[in-house]
């Protein structure tokens, strides 16, 4: 039985390590400033902001030609100008609205680093299977951890039992 659990643990470790590695690498990229989206972090000049958030959402809707499911509206400085970034859904696409002029433009296609981050970190590549894939890999990771704990307890109890028997003689 212990041999089976050991082999299961090794198999699960290999199977689970691939998506965990992609997730960890994408998180590492995201943690480094300017790696994913590029650019620099700049202070927003409040006096330059002429467009309200409601107006920015309306400008984004007008550009798209329909009412968008905006889930986040962020004010930031991009290319030296205050801009709103309107994001829909889980952030796959966005629209930038100039906070001074109200001019709305679609975001440029993401760089390979941004695409990797989104695909690996949020499992976007899985489409409708995204949640199920996350649940399956979470369950496999938990099973891998449980088998590892069992093997460690078994190893150390056997080793400490031998040591106690040896010192008793």
Dig out the tokens for 134 from the structure: 């996350």
Does the pTM surpass 0.85? The reply is no
Domain ranges of the chain: 1-37+111-156, 39-109
Q: What pLDDT, on the 0 to 100 scale, is given for residue 82?
A: 94
Q: What is the pLDDT confidence band of residue 37, given thresholds at 50, 70 and 90?
A: low
Dig out the tokens for 38 from the structure: 């590029």
Yes or no: say if 130 and 124 are a contact pair by the CB < 8 Å rule. Answer: yes
Region 39-109: CATH code: 3.10.450.40
Its sign, for the CA torsion 154, 156, 157, 158, is: positive
Q: What is the pLDDT of residues 51-102, one digit of tens each?
A: 999 999 999 989 988 888 888 899 998 888 999 999 875 445 689 999 999 9
């Amino acid at each position: 039985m212990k041999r089976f659990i050991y082999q299961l643990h090794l198999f699960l470790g290999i199977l689970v390590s691939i998506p965990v590695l992609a997730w960890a690498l994408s998180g590492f990229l995201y943690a480094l400033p300017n790696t994913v989206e590029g650019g620099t972090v700049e202070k927003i000049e409040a006096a330059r902001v002429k467009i309200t958030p409601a107006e920015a959402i309306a400008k984004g809707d007008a550009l798209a030609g329909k009412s968008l499911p905006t889930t986040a509206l962020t004010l930031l400085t991009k290319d030296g100008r205050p801009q709103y970034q309107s994001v829909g859904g889980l952030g796959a696409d966005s629209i930038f609205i100039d906070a001074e002029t109200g001019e709305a433009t679609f975001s440029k296609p993401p760089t390979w680093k941004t695409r990797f981050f989104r695909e690996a970190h949020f499992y976007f590549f899985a489409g409708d299977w995204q949640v199920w894939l996350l649940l399956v890999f979470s369950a496999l990771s938990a099973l891998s951890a449980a088998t590892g704990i069992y093997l460690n307890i078994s190893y150390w109890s056997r080793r400490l039992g031998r040591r106690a028997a040896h010192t008793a003689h």
